[in-house]
Structures are given as C-alpha cells and as structure tokens.
Amino acid sequence: MPTGRTQEPVTSTVLRRLAAGTTLAAVVVACATLSGTPSTEPATRPAAQPAAAPAAVPATAPVQADGFGDPVVDRHVSDRAARTARTRQRQRPDSRAETTTPPPQTVASTSTKPAKKPAAAKRPRRAAAVPVAGPVDGSRVNIVTAYARAQVGKRYVRRGTGPNSFDCSGLTLAAYAQVGVTLPHFTGAQVTRGRAVGRAELQPGDLVFPHPGHVGVYVGGGQMVHASTPRGGVKLSAVYDFWTARRIL
C-alpha cells in the first residue's frame, strides 16, 4: 500500500549502509525486504560485529560529502600525508646510536737530540805529603851516619859527590842517597828540605847548618861529620856554631 513517504532506491540504500559499516548479510536482508523477495538467510540475524575504528584523518586533510551527506576523505591527500610522515621518521637520527670517542693516539717522540751522559764522578785529589814529626827511623839513620863516618879523612873537592872526594853538600847528598833519599847538590836548597828543628832537638841523621853556607850530618853527642875545607877535608868535629837544622828522616 502506498504511503505518503517516497521510497528511496535500493541501490542508494545499499551504498549508504555499506559506507556506514553495516555488514554485508544485513544489507542483503534489507534489500530483500525492500524488493519483496524472500531472503534465504535465517530469520534470526546475527549480532552485528563492531565496526573497525576509522583511520585517523590528518587535521589538514580536506573533507567532502557524498550524495548521502556522509563525509568522504580524499585518499590522495591521506596517502601523501602518510608518506611524508614515514619519510620524516626515516630521516630522524637515531637517538640511541652510541657515539664512540676514538682513543688518544700516542705520538712517538721524533727528537734527534742525543741523551745526556751522566757526569763522571770527580776523583778526589790526593793531599800533598806533609812531613810529620815522629820518632826517627833508627835503621835508616844508622845507615846515613855510618856512611858519613866512613868518609872521614877523604879530600875536600868543590862539587865533589864521592866516592873519593866531597864538598859539604856533596857529602850529605851521598849519605842520604844510601837510603833512597835524593837531595839537591846545593846548601841553599837543602835547607828547605824536611822540617826545621832547634839545637836542643838535634838527633842523629839531622842536617845541621853552622851558618848559611855550610852543612854537615849530625851523628850525636854534639858532633857532626862534614867536608870542612880543602885543607881540613872530611872530618868529625863538634858543632862549633848553629844557624838551623833540618830533619829529613
């Protein structure tokens, strides 16, 4: 029976319900009812499955309305926005990437300067031998005095050093040579050897100088052996005068 409401075409109804998320079975039943064709589906309609949530639409995507007043999203705009988002995601640097700092490199020294040699230890200088007063070497003194006594009676000859003739410094030189002591053949030089002793300190073997130009060997008991003069020759006599004396041994 016709009513006052205009019946919409079946095709438009199908498209609109499919767009709204209605299942295909429900759309087939609705079409059969509208066309008067009995449906082969059971009377009990299964429960409608929940429609899948529509994809998120970018805020900038343009929205259009179809012939039924439902919004339609421009697929080209949506696809372009998705590709742009994926491109930015790939271009974004990975914040989890670890930055490794290369270890510091050791630079070998290229210096060509030779290594300094350690300073050689300085050798201590030997102190000069200083004659020290002490007991007289009896054995060597006896050799010196015995040699001097043995020359008594020999001639005095200027610059003579023995064995047959002597002058005063030549006699003392020859006497000390018997024990390995070298004396100069000059009275003024012999007075600088050994150490000075006083007359009261005289001991056998000392050089005794009655005056600056004469020297003899002290043999003890206040006596000395000396080459006196060309007339007197080598003789044993008392220490007739005293200027100085030197202890050699």
Q: How far apart are CA 147 and CA 144, in angstroms?
A: 5
Known catalytic residue: 226?
yes
Type of residue found at 41 = E
Instruction: Strands of 69-148 (E only): list them.
Output: 71-73
Q: How far apart are CA 193 and CA 46, in angstroms?
A: 149
Dihedral (Cα; 194, 195, 197, 202), 10-degree rounding = -30
List the catalytic residue out of 31, 76, 168, 211: 168
Known catalytic residue: 214?
yes
List the catalytic residue out of 31, 76, 185, 214: 214
List the catalytic residue out of 31, 185, 211, 226: 226
SS3 195: strand
Known catalytic residue: 211?
no
Cβ neighbours for 84, distance < 8 A, ≥ 6 positions apart: none
Residues belonging to the active site: 168, 214, 226
